[in-house]
Amino acid sequence: MNETTRSTYALTVALLLGPALGHAADSAPSPIAQSSSGSAAAMAKAVTPQAPTLSKSDDYKDPDLWARIRSGYAIPDIDNALVAKHIQWYASRPDYLTRTSSRASLYLYHVVQELEKRGMPTELALLPVIESAFNPQALSNADAAGIWQFVPGTGRDFNLKQNMFKDERRGVLASTDAALTYLQRLYTMFGDWQLALAAYNWGEGNVQKAIQKNRALGKPTDFESLSELMPAETRNYVPKLQAVKNIIANPAQYGVVLPTIDNTPYFVAVDKTSDIDLAVAAQLAEMSVDEFKALNPQFKKPVITGESTKILLPKENAEKFNLNLAQWGRALSTWTTHKITSARESIASLAAKLGTTPEVIRQANNIPPQMRLKAGSTILVPKTSATAGNDIAESIVENASMVLEADRGESRRSGHRLSGAQRIRASAAHAVAEIKSRVSRGSRPAVNANGRKRR
């Protein structure tokens, strides 16, 4: 697409970053299964000479990224009733394909480029259509997040940082690298892309067991022969990708008009050397906060921490960012952290001491009403003159956690009893907070013998 069209996509993408809609939402894929053996570093060494030699991206002349993807198809096709069913579903929903393409336009060039660097089939760039509809904010019931839908434990296995300040499962660069490394490992394990994809969805342990069962019966062990042993979601997983692949290969055959996506990089990575408020970064880049978040969805707090942290910006906005940063002359960050040392320290008393309001602290830390902080919790608070020049230490970023409890005691002491509805809301908020706190502390789900996480 031309630059005007692409800018329009970027301006509208924030409206499209709600939960993945339509087909992807109605049949949310299972989280990526945890690898049963081998370290992430060993996985990264896997060599996958399965795709044809592709032109270097700098030499690729076709202006349409869809055409570039078609040229690198290398996974054997399947043709069955499930493929036809899913083709009909996608082709009959042009609005859904347009929304998904709009989101994809920000990330797809990078994904294709990374696939080509590794010599991998380029139709794998379409897998996030199935996983998340290219929505980096997509979150499954099993807590799988991002366009590639990593669960917390598998994300940690592939060095995706998850702490109070960021979740790299949502970040485009880190999650794409992790997903492609995992897919390479699965292909090396099974020697078959369709089985590798089934394992990505179902878990390699389950696929291995299915292969062993068919071998013992003298039956074939290809994807379609094993599909009757798979749950419905996995049985449909590869046919869904095949359906999208077919539509991209020949959209006119199915009455589909694909929005053009330029075969040029959408973003560049910009280094930052100190803490910076997310709103300030967006202002320096001359972007709205929603546009900025669309490219940087991994940041969970109003401040972006870390000396080596990169932010993604469209090239033109990156130039504006650097120019405006050189002339800024003010504090880049207005946030620091505070550790609750006593159960008697309330959000209200802390806000009064810092010259802010309880609402500001609750909003910055996503603390629900009728909930209070337990001692030992670390939270984000506005800077004061005493902390104005200090960045948040990396040790705090990596280890901070927040634990909440229902605020029943303070309500009674103040003479206000919670109503029945308030007690129900507080209990629900407490349950959610406990789950979030366990995740932020780095708890890992149990793993069964098949390599899948137990929920």
Q: Which domains does the chain have, with CATH numbers?
A: 3-254 (1.10.530.10), 268-326 (3.10.350), 335-440 (3.10.350.10)
How do strand 303-304 and strand 276-277 relate by DSSP bridges?
A: antiparallel
- Is residue 181 within 8 Å of 120, Cβ to Cβ? no
Structure tokens at 303: 């401040």
pLDDT given at position 61: 66
Per annotation, catalytic residue among 114, 116, 123, 131: 131
pLDDT given at position 344: 87
Helices (H), 217-339: 223-226, 232-249, 278-284, 289-295, 315-326
pLDDT given at position 60: 52
Per the prediction, the chain carries an average pLDDT of: 84
What are the tens digits of pLDDT across the range 304-355? 998 889 999 999 999 999 999 999 999 999 999 999 999 889 999 999 999 9
pLDDT given at position 26: 40
Q: Is 131 a catalytic residue?
A: yes
pLDDT given at position 307: 83
Q: Is the pLDDT at 25 greater than 80, yes or no? A: no
pLDDT given at position 306: 87
The percentage of the chain sitting over the pLDDT mark of 70, rounded to a whole number, equals 76
What are the tens digits of pLDDT across the range 379-434? 999 999 988 989 999 999 999 999 999 987 554 443 344 444 544 554 555 455 45
pLDDT given at position 53: 43
Per-residue burial over 101-138, b = 16 or more CB atoms within 10 Å of its CB, e = otherwise? bbbbbbbbbbbbbbbbebbbbbbbbbbbbbbbbbbbbb
